[in-house]
């Protein structure tokens, strides 16, 4: 009897402790998933993104400073500085990957906050390292070369950019003559931006010629180097837009014809096996055929729009049919769709880079587009490559 008397309160105590523990666990879990926890996770992610924005600017500024000071062409005296520069650029690239991973994380809010705070701490540490490298570079420049030498080198770089790119005016004129505005607007805007950047470089270098303070001269050379880089980027954008337009014109007719045949075959599949396809697949594919016919009418003047329409209707076809086509036909369809989709992704990325939107969201989208394009080029499976190319296109085209 005494044993029973002792066991009952003990059992009750154990049950009570288990209940309390269960309640505590539920409360903790609820708090880790609460709206307040989600808000804290979002705030931590935004803080990490802001740190990445500052690191990207600082790393770019450091890279410009190396070019402006001629440290990249010096010998052993800058080996440690060059290693620091390379480390800063690698850290910047890793930062984009890490912050992108935060945006797509499926962890609970509390864990997302912890991860974001860790990423931010790493980025802040890299910012401090970049600042030290920048200061060390300034000290190095004071004892190597002269301000006048750096002005001459900056002017030579400016002239080299213009000489290598040539006059963009004939390219723009050729596009205007053949195509509608949609197919030459990007090139024209890039040419105008290049002209403005070169004018800024010339103005800044003239100010550097007139300046007497070494620190002021180096600051002006830095600005001129930045402007020259922007001019080179915009001149390349003109060449890219010209090439993309001509390639689209060469391929638009054949791509439209092939896509029209593919849609006809897809409609047959949707009619014969409706249960394996999306609802209303046949009707939606007929609408896509109408879109393709409309693009074909003006493909001569708007070849890029025609190529984009082909890529979109092929993606719609794949979504609507799912796994209804045989694996071999799906592979053939992916191989047929890949070149046009890659062209659309490259064109969208070139346009995004020419716009040079400096917000962190835009930079993250451009970085994702570059990574997805690289993955598409490296993939050996056409289906995987096509999925990467479509993701790259979507990221580059978003605003």
Question: For 75-130, what is each residue's pLDDT tens digit?
Answer: 666 788 999 999 999 999 999 999 999 988 888 998 999 999 999 999 999 999 99
Cα–Cα dist 137/140, whole Å: 5
Domain-ending residue, one of 220, 235, 250: 235
Contact 296, 256 (CB under 8 A): yes
Per-residue pLDDT tens over the stretch 251-266 = 999 999 999 999 999 9
- The range of the structural domain enclosing residue 357 comes to 242-397
- Would residue 10 count as lying in a domain? no
User: Locate tokens 């490259």: which residue?
Assistant: 346
Q: Are residues 248 and 372 in the same domain?
A: yes
- Would residue 333 count as lying in a domain? yes
Cα–Cα dist 157/93, whole Å: 26
Please give the structure tokens belonging to residue 345: 């992704």
Q: Which residues lie below 8 Å from residue 352, measured CB to CB, with a gap of 6+?
A: 362, 365, 366, 369, 396, 397
Q: What DSSP character marks residue 267?
A: H
| Helices then strands, each counted (H, E), the chain | 13, 0
- Would residue 187 count as lying in a domain? yes
Q: Are residues 42 and 99 in the same domain?
A: yes
pTM for this predicted structure:
0.83
Give the confidence band of 71 by pLDDT, cuts at 50, 70, 90: confident
- Would residue 24 count as lying in a domain? no
- Would residue 21 count as lying in a domain? no
Give the confidence band of 144 by pLDDT, cuts at 50, 70, 90: confident
- Would residue 18 count as lying in a domain? no
Cα–Cα dist 123/224, whole Å: 28
Q: Are residues 250 and 191 in the same domain?
A: no
Name the nearest CA neighbour of 250 among 314, 289, 185, 299: 299
Q: Are residues 154 and 212 in the same domain?
A: yes
What string of DSSP letters covers 297-342?
A: HTTTT-HHHHHHHHHHHHHHHHHHHTT-S-HHHHHHHHHHHHHHHH
**Tally of domains in the chain:** 3
Q: Are residues 265 and 377 in the same domain?
A: yes
Q: Are residues 259 and 304 in the same domain?
A: yes
Domain-ending residue, one of 179, 203, 235: 235
- Would residue 307 count as lying in a domain? yes
Domain-ending residue, one of 124, 143, 162: 143
Coil, helix or strand at residue 301: coil
């Amino acid at each position: 009897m005494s044993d029973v008397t002792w066991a009952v309160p003990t059992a009750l105590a154990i049950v009570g402790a288990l209940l309390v523990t269960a309640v505590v666990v539920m409360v903790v879990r609820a708090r880790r998933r609460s709206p307040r926890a989600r808000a804290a996770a979002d705030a931590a992610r935004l803080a990490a993104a802001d740190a990445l924005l500052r690191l990207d600017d600082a790393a770019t500024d450091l890279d410009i400073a190396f070019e402006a000071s001629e440290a990249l062409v010096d010998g052993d005296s800058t080996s440690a500085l060059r290693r620091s520069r390379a480390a800063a650029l690698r850290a910047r690239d890793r930062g984009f990957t890490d912050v992108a991973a935060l945006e797509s994380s499926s962890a609970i809010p509390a864990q997302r906050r912890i991860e974001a705070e860790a990423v931010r701490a790493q980025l802040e540490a890299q910012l401090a390292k970049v600042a030290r490298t920048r200061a060390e570079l300034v000290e190095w420049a004071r004892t190597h070369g002269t301000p006048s030498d750096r002005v001459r080198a900056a002017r030579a770089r400016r002239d080299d950019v213009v000489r290598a790119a040539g006059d963009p005016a004939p390219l723009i004129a050729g596009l205007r003559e053949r195509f509608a505005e949609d197919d030459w607007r990007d090139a024209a805007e890039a040419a105008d931006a290049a002209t403005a950047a070169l004018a800024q470089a010339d103005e800044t270098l003239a100010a550097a010629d007139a300046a007497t303070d070494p620190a002021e001269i180096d600051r002006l050379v830095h600005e001129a180097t930045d402007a020259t880089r922007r001019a080179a980027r915009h001149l390349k954008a003109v060449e890219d837009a010209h090439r993309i337009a001509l390639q689209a014109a060469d391929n638009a007719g054949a791509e439209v014809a092939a896509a029209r045949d593919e849609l006809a075959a897809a409609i047959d599949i949707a009619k014969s096996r409706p249960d394996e396809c999306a609802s209303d697949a046949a009707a939606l594919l007929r609408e896509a055929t109408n879109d393709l016919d409309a693009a074909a009418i003006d493909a001569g003047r708007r070849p890029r729009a025609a190529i984009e329409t082909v890529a979109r209707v092929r993606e719609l076809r794949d979504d609507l049919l799912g796994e209804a086509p045989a694996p071999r036909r799906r592979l053939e369809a992916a191989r047929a769709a890949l070149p046009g989709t890659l062209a659309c992704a490259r064109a969208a990325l070139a346009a995004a880079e020419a716009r040079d939107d400096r917000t962190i969201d835009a930079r993250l989208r451009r970085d994702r587009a570059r990574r997805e394009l690289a993955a598409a080029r490296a993939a050996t499976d056409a289906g995987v490559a096509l999925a990467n190319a479509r993701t790259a296109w979507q990221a580059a085209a978003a605003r």
